[in-house]
Structure formats: structure tokens, C-alpha cells
Amino acid sequence: MKTIHRFAAGALLAFALPCAAFATDYAVQPASTLGFTGSFQGTSFDGGFKQWKAAISYDPAQLAQSKFDVNVTMASVAVSDKDQQGALPGKDFFNVAQYPDAHFVTTGFRSVGGKVVADGQLTLRGVTKPVSLVVDFKPQGKNATLDVSGSLKRLDFSVGGGEYADTSVIGADVKVHAHLVLVAK
């Protein structure tokens, strides 16, 4: 009798697996951008990163199987102001000599008021903290665009601490945003 139950359980599992839903894996295209907006002396400025990689597996109907894994080369930071450009990679800000990469990985997704929020852990300057990003996914046949946005406190990650900790000069909040052009693998 045990053999029949094992066979039945195995057969049921074999039939169920092809029906299991998985999130779609996407390749991020070169037209994608990863940026941020901060403020200095009350004036906002935009920046971005030229080198980063993202592993995206996403399906809004299968959030439990979805995952973002993003690795950013911090030395690739780019801003238009040459003083900021010189300072950001340095020890007082990103300290790219000691912390060359930042890493964000999702821990889960949730629906909030009709929007999807990606919860995850961001590691920046050796500090890991929770970060939540609003997700806007637009499928286009087998391909898609994915926009994410959120906010973080720079001092939570020791970015611009010490003499640069004055948030009246350098704003405490940094908005992060990305526009990903995706092609299904």
C-alpha cells in the first residue's frame, strides 16, 4: 500500500511541476539607467552610475517568485558638477577604495494601494539596511520596461558623515531611480 501512495504522490508531483508558475528572467539592455537625486546647499542635483549589473526575475502575478539582484560599481558615479564628481568617490562619501560596490537584493514584494513595492537589503559602504522601492512594470509582448524609485537616508550608510553630516548643507534624503529596458531570456 505504501508503494501505491508513493507512486501516486510522485505522479501528482510530476503533473503539478509543469503547471507551476515562475517569474520571467530578463536581460537588462544598455539603454537602461540607474540614478539618484540629492541636494547641496538647497539645490537639487542628479547623478547616476555608468557601470552596474542587474539580475531581474519578475512577474507581477508571481511576486513570490520574483527577485531583483543589483550590483553597482561605485567608482562609475557621474554628476555634472566637477567638485562633486571629485568628492563622491572619495573617503568621505562612497569611499570606493575600500567599498568598490554597492549591492541591493530583494527580500520580497508586496502590493500597497494598487502599487507593487520591492523590499530589500542595500549594502553601501559596508552597511546593510532595508530599502523599499516602488515598482512600475510595463510588459511589451515578451519584453518590458521596469521603473523603480525610492528614497534613502545617506547618513544611514555613512555617506558624507563627519564634517559632511550637516543636512542643511547636504540633504539627508537621496532619491534613487532606475529605468530598465528588459528583454525576456
Q: Is residue 6 part of a domain?
A: no
Average pLDDT in the 55-69 region? 97
**Based on the structure, what is the number of domains in the chain?**
1
Span of 12-16, 36-40, 112-116, 164-168 with lowest mean pLDDT:
12-16
Average pLDDT in the 46-58 region? 98
Average pLDDT in the 171-179 region? 98
Q: What is the pLDDT of residue 22?
A: 87
Q: Is residue 104 part of a domain?
A: yes
Q: Is residue 3 part of a domain?
A: no
Distance in angstroms (rounded) separating the CA atoms of residues 16 and 19: 5
Q: What is the pLDDT of residue 42?
A: 94
Q: Is residue 17 part of a domain?
A: no
Average pLDDT in the 37-62 region? 97
pLDDT in tens, 7-24: 444 443 344 334 446 899
In the chain, pLDDT over 90 holds for what percent of residues?
86
For all residues of the chain together, what is the average pLDDT?
91
Q: Is residue 50 part of a domain?
A: yes
Look at residues 118, 1, 141 and name the one whose alpha carbon lies nearest to residue 66. 118
Distance in angstroms (rounded) separating the CA atoms of residues 72 and 14: 40
Q: Is residue 10 part of a domain?
A: no
CATH number reported for the structural domain that contains residue 47 in this entry? 2.40.128.110
The answer, yes or no, to whether residue 91 has pLDDT greater than 80, is yes
Are 150 and 132 spatial neighbours (Cβ–Cβ below 8 Å)?
A: yes
Average pLDDT in the 70-98 region? 97
Q: Is residue 8 part of a domain?
A: no
Tell me the one-letter amino acid at 96: V
Q: What is the pLDDT of residue 162?
A: 85
The answer, yes or no, to whether residue 161 has pLDDT greater than 90, is no
The whole-model pTM stands at: 0.87
The answer, yes or no, to whether residue 1 has pLDDT greater than 70, is no
List the domain range (segments joined by +) for residue 121. Answer: 22-184
pLDDT in tens, 105-136: 999 999 999 999 999 999 999 999 999 999 99
Distance in angstroms (rounded) separating the CA atoms of residues 104 and 34: 12
What beta strand segments (E) does 75-125 contain? 77-79, 101-112, 115-124
Instruction: Considering only residues 94 and 19, tell me which one the structure prediction assigns the higher pLDDT.
Output: 94
Q: Is residue 49 part of a domain?
A: yes
